[in-house]
Amino acid sequence: MEQELTQKIRSRALGLLARREHAHSELIRKLVNKGFENSLVTEIVNELAEEDLQNDTRYTESYIRSRICRGYGPSRIRQELRERDISEDLSFELLQNATDWYELAYDARIKKFGNAAPEEFKERAKQMSFLQYRGFTHEQINASFR
């Protein structure tokens, strides 16, 4: 009976991982929400991580790429990764060399507001607010106007 339950949990976990990468804690949460026992789920997910079928580094790289494609900056991505229980060290390391954040801030501003530089303070403030919401630093935001 125990082996049958273990196999069922493992099968569900592999099904989730086949669709997309999942963070360790996210995979545990999803399986526990399906009604499986927390300790057994944790043990199985740890085994999957040891077998490199579940990998937080791969998940983080994939997540960062997807958020960059949507025009989000490093601050917002770092916050979202923190909410997904990804370690600060890992997220910092992978965000360092992920892309040219200055260029991405510029591209996000141009895509939303067009090529023309804002002439009025109110319009500039609106664009700065947008970029700040997207997760860019003040330095990156200011550089996007040059």
For the chain, domain boundaries: 2-54, 57-96, 101-144
Rounded distance between C-alpha atoms, residue 8 and residue 14, angstroms: 10
- Calculate the alpha carbon distances from 10 to 26, 50, 55 in Å: 15, 13, 15
Sign of CA dihedral 22, 87, 104, 100: negative
Alpha carbon 118 to its chain's center: 31
Q: Which fold has domain 2-54?
A: Arc Repressor Mutant, subunit A (1.10.10)
Element at 66 (helix H, strand E): helix 56-69
Residue type, 47: E
Instruction: Tell me if 111 sits within 8 A of 102, measured CB to CB.
Output: no
- Same topology, domains 2-54 and 101-144? Answer is yes
Per-residue model confidence as pLDDT tens for the chain (146 residues): 688 889 999 999 999 999 999 999 999 999 999 999 999 999 999 999 999 999 999 999 999 999 999 999 999 999 999 999 999 999 999 999 889 999 999 999 999 998 888 889 999 999 999 999 999 999 999 999 88
User: What fold characterizes domain 101-144?
Assistant: Arc Repressor Mutant, subunit A (1.10.10)
What are 129's two structure tokens? 């607010």
Helices 74-83 and 88-96: crossing angle in degrees, nearest 10, is 150
